[in-house]
Amino acid sequence: MRNNYLSKLITLRPFDRVGQHATYDGRNNTANCLFAFNKPVECASECQIGLRSAFIPVTFKNVILGYNDRFILQLYPTTSSGDSDCVFVTVQIPQGQYDTTTALASAVNTVLGNLNTTCAITDEGGGVLNSYNIADTSAILSGAGLTCTVDSTALNKNHLKFTIPSGVKFASSTIKTKDGGANGNSASLLGMQVLFGLPDNGGAGGNEVVGAKSEGRTAHKLIGFGHELTLPIVHSGVNMYFPYPNPLQTRTGTAEYSFSSPTIASVLYTPYIYIRCSLVTDSIETVPQGSKMSNLLGKIPVTSSGYGDAIFLEPSSETLFFTLAPGSIQNIQLTLTDQNGRELALIESDWEISLVIRGNIYS
């Protein structure tokens, strides 16, 4: 083994972090990741570390078939209906990459349009089905108009808005409910909730369940619902995912009924993305009435933060380097924060950051 003045490029991705599962589980924020090296980097004397490049998607915009393409609509014949008397609709979003909320809402709108015509789901085009009666492809609603749009109001701007227009009701009184019966009322549709999984009906009516938890195809992040809304709870006596809005809002007669998603996709409201590294000790940041030593490796300006944006940095001039003490480097922890040191809500964003270590390194 010999030592030379060398440079080593280290590329880090959240999927390779310590403790990462085989697939993303939606629970861990990739803004804080610890990485371990199979072969440590040995610094024979004082070395340097710097940021070489960074690619950070600020939203999760890809609909992947079989992974994050489904959510559920629970339709209520009356405002006091129990789960067994409700009609559940599995909505599958067409796979693809959506660069704006408008494009995503349009894709969801397209499949919702099948609710008043012929219900079906295909891998290529997505679609809708009665979750507990997949063999019945007849219309569930009496008319067009159950829509998903981008809310333009000041309170919910850029959230997704779900609306049942006035006059729309169930298409007939024979639409199958969760317990295998019929809704018995074609003159009303008095409520709607969104959820991200279904309880098994125990084979009631011999119907297959579409969109159950075991499929793991939840689109909660994609359409603006936090992970807490996918946690199993006991609702109306059975285990199922948390419905939204909860409690159910009241619809008067067949008047228009709507609600907006509680959050939008992970949009950043910070002037810079601050990349912090456990190996850095000699940055300086100001604090009220003074300054402090910091672990700040680099700052990436957020020139835009809309749905589907990605932030990319590759210094056009000399990378800024920080001092590393002699010794063995066995792990690195990277944390992505806002200007106040708070971790960014990157959820499962699969960013990629490259670092350069240079100096008298054992090879």
Domains and CATH numbers, the chain: 3-60+266-362 (2.60.120.1100), 62-260 (no CATH)
pLDDT at 42: 93
| pLDDT value at 23 more than 80 | no
Question: Over the chain, what is the mean pLDDT?
Answer: 84
The Cα–Cα gap between 232 and 239 comes to 6
Chain centroid offset of residue 332 CA: 26
| pLDDT value at 75 more than 70 | yes
Per-residue confidence band for 327, with pLDDT thresholds at 50, 70 and 90: very high
Q: Which residue has the higher pLDDT, 241 or 100?
A: 100
Q: Which residue has the higher pLDDT, 107 or 340?
A: 107
Q: Mind listing the pLDDT tens digit for each residue in 140-193?
A: 999 887 999 999 888 888 899 999 999 999 999 999 888 888 887 888 888 899
Q: Which residue has the higher pLDDT, 329 or 231?
A: 329
Q: Which residue has the higher pLDDT, 227 or 277?
A: 277
The Cα–Cα gap between 331 and 199 comes to 43
Averaging pLDDT over each range in 39-53, 77-91, 95-109, 341-355, which range is the top one? Answer: 39-53
pLDDT at 51: 94
The tokens describing 85, both together, are 């008397």
The Cα–Cα gap between 37 and 24 comes to 21
pLDDT at 232: 66
pLDDT at 40: 92
Share of the chain above pLDDT 90, in %: 40
| pLDDT value at 206 more than 50 | no
| pLDDT value at 240 more than 80 | no
Sign of the C-alpha dihedral, residues 82, 83, 84, 88? positive
Cβ neighbours of residue 295 closer than 8 Å, sequence gap 6 or more = 276, 277, 278, 280, 281, 283
- Strand 47-57 relative to strand 352-362, pairing: antiparallel
